[in-house]
Amino acid sequence: MNKALIEGLVVEWIKEAAQKIKDSFQNELEIDQKSGRNDLVTNMDKETETFFVEKIKEHFPDHRVFGEEGIAEKLEDLAGVVWIIDPIDGTLNFVLQQRDFAISIAIYVDGVGELAYIYDVEREELYTGERGKGAYLNGKKIPPLDKNKTLDDLLLIINQSTLYHYPELRKAISRSRGLRLQGAATLEFMSVATGRAGAYVSRTLQPWDIAAGKIIAGEIGAIVTRMDGTEIDMLTGGTIVVASPKIHEELVQNYLS
């Protein structure tokens, strides 16, 4: 796999897709509900996924693509080179606020995360990560997380439904510096990766919500697991805890078991 070639193309495609999404603000969106009124899909989610699938298939016909909107294939395994795409993460924000949404692309080889890209479209912030080579924000290296920080030092990101199902987490919030929510899993991962928050905890994330974030946050020294501390596979949805090591341990041992 020629990583430099992929990197050049992906960055070009992301910028092109982001411009199309921004241009769509002038037009009326076609909006459909998926599982409910807060789970939306727009014509731009579908068009953006189609755009990436076509580009990948044109340049890398033997790579497989796995995406949220079902335009890409549904996978049974992670053999070979697999692209995992969330064309718009934070669709509700995109529809209601036109900000705090992102394009997320990850490349896994035989199940191992190799390359990751998360683009905050409105802020024009591109987070990138490569296994073993660190992570970058708009080309600038993101410093490693401060491993000495504990729950008492930082903010937490936990959504309402997670708090409802895991009420012990309220005690963790009381110990922390407070609660914040952005409403886009990929950007919430990046808040932890850049030290703006100590942890992000969610009970219902899909592989496309976490595939890129896991690589980038991992490069900065964050621990990313299920709530019971077990490894995540990129084929099934489930719970997630992303945090710096001490905070991850505190959450898993004291507030999630």
Query: Which residues are at the interface with ligand IPD (CB under 6 A)?
Result: 68, 86, 89-92, 159, 183-185, 202, 204-205, 209
- Closest CB to Ca ion among residues 89, 130: 89
- Closest CB to ligand IPD among residues 86, 250: 86
Minimum Å distance from CB 91 to Ca ion? 5
Q: Which of Ca ion, ligand IPD, none sits in contact with 239, Cβ below 5 to 8 A by type?
A: none
Q: Which of ligand IPD, Ca ion, none sits in contact with 223, Cβ below 5 to 8 A by type?
A: none
By CB atoms closer than 10 A (0-12, 13-18, 19+), residue 187 is buried
DSSP 232: P
Q: Which of ligand IPD, Ca ion, none sits in contact with 184, Cβ below 5 to 8 A by type?
A: ligand IPD
Contact 247, 198 (CB under 8 A): yes
Q: What angle do CA 154, 92, 247 make, to 5 degrees?
A: 20
Minimum Å distance from CB 240 to ligand IPD? 10
Characterize 70-88 residue by residue with b for buried, 16 or more Cβ atoms within 10 angstroms of its Cβ, and e for exposed: ebbeeeeebeebbbbbbbb
Question: Nearest-CA neighbor of 251 among 146, 143, 163?
Answer: 163
CA gap 44, 122 in Å, rounded: 15
Site for Ca ion in 63-102 (CB under 5 A): 68, 86, 88-89
Minimum Å distance from CB 41 to Ca ion? 8
Q: Which of ligand IPD, Ca ion, none sits in contact with 194, Cβ below 5 to 8 A by type?
A: none
Number of residue whose CB is nearest ligand IPD? 185
CA gap 86, 46 in Å, rounded: 10
CA gap 172, 250 in Å, rounded: 9
CA gap 53, 73 in Å, rounded: 10
CA gap 257, 248 in Å, rounded: 12
Residue 109 dihedral angles phi and psi, to the nearest 5°: -120, 115
Q: Which of ligand IPD, Ca ion, none sits in contact with 78, Cβ below 5 to 8 A by type?
A: none
209 is in an annotated binding site: yes
User: How many residues sit in the footprint of Ca ion (CB under 5 A)?
Assistant: 5
86 is in an annotated binding site: yes
Q: Which of ligand IPD, Ca ion, none sits in contact with 56, Cβ below 5 to 8 A by type?
A: none
Site for Ca ion in 179-238 (CB under 5 A): 209
Contact 40, 91 (CB under 8 A): yes
- Closest CB to ligand IPD among residues 67, 218: 67
Minimum Å distance from CB 208 to Ca ion? 6
| Residues tagged in the binding site annotation | 68, 86, 88-89, 209
What residues make contact with Ca ion under the rule CB under 5 A? 68, 86, 88-89, 209
| Residues tagged in the binding site annotation for Mg(2+) | 68, 86, 88-89, 209
